[in-house]
Amino acid sequence: MSQPAPPARHWLLTEKRTPLPPPGRGHRPVRKLIHLGCFLVFLALPFANVMRFDIPRQRFYFAGFEVLISEFAILFFALMFLMFVIAVVAIMYGRVYCGYACPQMIFSEASTAVEAWTAGLARRWAAGPRARKLLGRGLFLAILAAASVFLAFVFMAYFIEPRDLLHRLLRFDLVSTGGILGASVTLLTFLDFTLVKQAFCTTVCPYGYFQGLLQDRHSLLVAYQDPAGACIDCRKCVRVCEMGIDIRKGPYQIECVHCGDCIDACDEVLAKVGHPGLIHYSWGGAAPSGAAEPWYRRWGLRDPKRFVILFVMVAYLSALGLTLYLRKPVLMRLTPDRTTLYALLPDGSVANRVRMNLANRSPRAVEIRVWVEGLAGARVLLDRNPLTLAPGAALERTFDIAAPAGPRELNPIRVVIQSSDQAAFDAAEMNFIMPTKGN
C-alpha cells in the first residue's frame, strides 16, 4: 500500500532545524566579541577610505594612500602580502579564521539568531501554530531583506565610492552596470543568509578547500580526546554544532570551522559530574601534555616552515611599506632628446630638446613649473609654464631649452621641475650642446 503524501507546506514555513544554542561561557563570548569587532572593521574600511578598489575611478585606496591601478609594485606587494597572510593563518591556525572572523560565518550566525528571535516574538504575538510560523517567517524574511540591502551596500562600497553608491540606490538605478551589480549582490546576500548560511562553508567555500591543502601535523585543530572513556554520550557537542558534525569522529573533518562551541558544551556538561571537558583546541590533535612550552610554540610557531613563511609575509609587508613610503604623489622624469643634437633659432640662440614625462597620482590638480640652472640666459620654451595636471592625468611632451650661443661645446645644466605646492620636485643633470667652431 502506498504511503499518503506528506501535507503540502507553504514556502514561508520552510525552515531548517536550528542547533541548540551553546553555553554563554567559554569560547563563545570571546568569539562574539571578535565577530562584533570584525563587523565594525568591515563597515569602516570602505567608508574611511582605508581600503577600496574603486573601479569607476580606477583607484586603489589603501591605508590613507590613493594608488592608481597602474602602480603595479604597490598592488603586487599588497596582493602578495594578503596571500601570505591567508597562507600563514591557514597553516598555523587551521580554520580558526572561518569560525572567528569570516563574514559568511558572522552573518550566518547572526541570521540564525534573528530567526530564533522572530520565532520567539511570533510565539508571543500570534495564536495557533500556523499563524505563529507565518508571522515568525514573515518577520525574519522582512528583517533579512532590509539587512541584505545594507550589507550589499557596504560590500559594494569596497568597489564604488559610497556617495556615488547612495545616489544610485536612491535613484533605484537598475540600468547601469553598478546598479545591476548592486541589485544582484543584494539578492545573493538575501538568498545566502536565508537559505544557504553555513552550508556555504561545507560546499563551495574555496578557503575551506585551500585550508585543507595547507594544514599539516602542527596546525591548530579542535580535537576530542577521551583516553579514560569519560564520555557520557549526551550528544550535546553534536547538537550545538552549526556545521552538523560529530567531532568525536575525528579532528580532520573538513566541515569543522574550529568555532569551539562543542568545547564549551562538553565543558559545561561534564563540569556537572566534576570531570574536565573532553574536547580541546590542540596543535595537530595531540592531547594536552600539561608541560610548559616556550611562547613561540604556544603562538603556533612549531616548526622551521612556520618561521620561514612568517618571514616571507613580513618581507612582503616591509616591501609594501617601503614602496608606499617612497611613492611620489607627482611622478616626473626628464631625459635629453638627442634625435638632433641642437638647433639654431632665428634669433641666433641655440636650442636643445628635452623629453618630459609627468604623472599626477595625487587627488588634487597640481601646477608644475620647469626652469634651467647652470647656464646664463638659458630659458624654457613651453607655451605654458607652469602647466596644470589634473588628478590622475599623465603627460608626455618634448620642449626646447634655448640659450645664447657660447664658446663651449658642452655646457653642464640642471633642468628642474617642481610642483606648485612643493610636494614634488625632480632635477635632471645633462649637457647643453652648442655648435662647435666652424659649424
| Binding region for ligand SF4 (CB under 6 A) out of 48-56, 187-195, 231-239, 293-301 | 231-239
Helix locations, 157-272, DSSP H: 162-170, 177-191, 199-203, 206-214, 236-239, 261-271
284 φ, ψ to 5°? 70, 15
CA 214 to chain centre: 21
Collapsed DSSP state (helix, strand, coil) of residue 372: strand
Note whether 135 binds ligand SF4 by CB under 6 A: no
Q: Report the alpha-carbon distance of residue 54 to residue 46 in Å, rounded.
A: 10
Nearer to ligand SF4, 194 or 225 (CB): 225
Cα within 13 Å of Cα(281), Cβ side = 19
C-alpha cell of 186?
A: 543584494
Note whether 434 binds ligand SF4 by CB under 6 A: no
Nearer to ligand SF4, 136 or 208 (CB): 208
Question: Contact letters (x/-) for ligand SF4, 211-230, by CB under 6 A?
Answer: -----------x-x------
Nearer to ligand SF4, 268 or 367 (CB): 268
User: Taking the alpha carbons of 27, 28, 33, 34 in that order, is the dihedral positive or negative?
Assistant: positive
Which 272-301 positions form the footprint of ligand SF4 (CB under 6 A)?
A: 278-279
Count of other CB atoms within 10 angstroms of residue 233: 7
| Binding region for ligand SF4 (CB under 6 A) out of 5-13, 52-60, 129-137, 264-272 | 264-272
Note whether 265 binds ligand SF4 by CB under 6 A: yes
Q: Report the alpha-carbon distance of residue 146 to residue 190 in Å, rounded.
A: 9
Q: Out of 89, 270, 359, 387, which residue is the one contacting ligand SF4 (CB under 6 A)?
A: 270
Q: What is the largest CA-CA distance in the chain?
A: 119
Q: Out of 2, 72, 127, 233, which residue is the one contacting ligand SF4 (CB under 6 A)?
A: 233
Note whether 261 binds ligand SF4 by CB under 6 A: yes
Nearer to ligand SF4, 243 or 378 (CB): 243
Question: Contact letters (x/-) for ligand SF4, 90-119, by CB under 6 A?
Answer: ------------------------------
Q: What b-and-e string marks burial along 261-278, b requiring 16 or more CB atoms within 10 Å of the CB?
A: bbbbbbbbbbeeeeeebb
Q: Out of 137, 258, 280, 306, which residue is the one contacting ligand SF4 (CB under 6 A)?
A: 258
Question: Contact letters (x/-) for ligand SF4, 313-352, by CB under 6 A?
Answer: ----------------------------------------
Contact 301, 291 (CB under 8 A): no
Q: Out of 269, 330, 372, 401, which residue is the one contacting ligand SF4 (CB under 6 A)?
A: 269
C-alpha cell of 225?
A: 580526546
User: Taking the alpha carbons of 75, 78, 84, 90 in that order, is the dihedral positive or negative?
Assistant: negative
Question: Nearest-CA neighbor of 417 among 330, 339, 347?
Answer: 330
| Binding region for ligand SF4 (CB under 6 A) out of 142-150, 243-251, 366-374, 429-437 | 243-251
Q: Report the alpha-carbon distance of residue 428 to residue 399 in Å, rounded.
A: 14
Note whether 199 binds ligand SF4 by CB under 6 A: no
Q: Report the alpha-carbon distance of residue 330 to residue 358 in Å, rounded.
A: 7
Minimum distance from residue 115 beta carbon to ligand SF4 (Å): 18
Note whether 146 binds ligand SF4 by CB under 6 A: no
Contact 411, 434 (CB under 8 A): yes
Collapsed DSSP state (helix, strand, coil) of residue 122: helix
Minimum distance from residue 19 beta carbon to ligand SF4 (Å): 9
Minimum distance from residue 22 beta carbon to ligand SF4 (Å): 8
Q: Out of 234, 286, 393, 405, which residue is the one contacting ligand SF4 (CB under 6 A)?
A: 234
Number of residues near ligand SF4 (by CB under 6 A): 28
Note whether 237 binds ligand SF4 by CB under 6 A: yes
Q: Out of 74, 247, 366, 370, which residue is the one contacting ligand SF4 (CB under 6 A)?
A: 247
C-alpha cell of 31?
A: 568569539
Q: Report the alpha-carbon distance of residue 95 to residue 120 in Å, rounded.
A: 32
| Binding region for ligand SF4 (CB under 6 A) out of 30-38, 252-260, 344-352, 419-427 | 252-260
Q: What b-and-e string marks burial along 131-146, b requiring 16 or more CB atoms within 10 Å of the CB?
A: ebbbbbbebbeeebee
C-alpha cell of 233?
A: 554520550
Q: Which residues in this chain contact ligand SF4 in the complex, by CB under 6 A?
A: 222, 224, 231-237, 240-241, 243, 245, 247-248, 256-262, 265-266, 269-270, 278-279
